[in-house]
Amino acid sequence: MNIRITENRAALGTAAGKAIASALREKIAAAGRVTVAFAAAPSQNETLATLIAEPGIAWDRVTAYHLDEYAGATADSPHSFRRYLREHAFHSVTPALFHRISGEAKDQEAERARYASLLPAAGFDIALLGIGENGHLAFNDPPCDFADPGAVRVVALDEACRIQQVHDGAFQTLPDVPTQAFTLTVPVLMKAHKVFVMVPGPAKAQAVAAALEGPLTNLCPASILRTHPDAAIFLDEASAARLTQPVSE
List, as one string, the DSSP characters of 74-135. Answer: -TTSTT-HHHHHHHHTTTT---SEE----TT-S-HHHHHHHHHHHS-TT--SEEEE---TTS
SS3 for 246? coil
Residue 212 lies in a domain: no
Q: Domain range spanning residue 44?
A: 2-126+190-200+226-235
Structurally, the chain folds into a number of domains equal to: 1
Residue 175 lies in a domain: no
At 112 the pLDDT is 98
pLDDT tens for each residue of 88-117: 999 999 999 999 999 999 999 999 999 999
CATH, residue 90? 3.40.50.1360
* CA distance linking residue 68 with residue 61, whole number of Å: 22
Which amino acid type is present at position 234? Answer: F
Reported confidence tier of residue 246, pLDDT bands at 50, 70, 90? low
List, as one string, the DSSP characters of 165-216. Answer: HHHTTS-SSGGGS-SEEEEE-HHHHHTSSEEEEEE-SGGGHHHHHHHHHS--
Residues 6+ apart with CB under 8 A from 227: 190, 216
pLDDT tens for each residue of 116-173: 999 999 999 999 999 999 999 999 999 999 999 999 999 999 999 999 999 888 899 9
Residue 220 lies in a domain: no
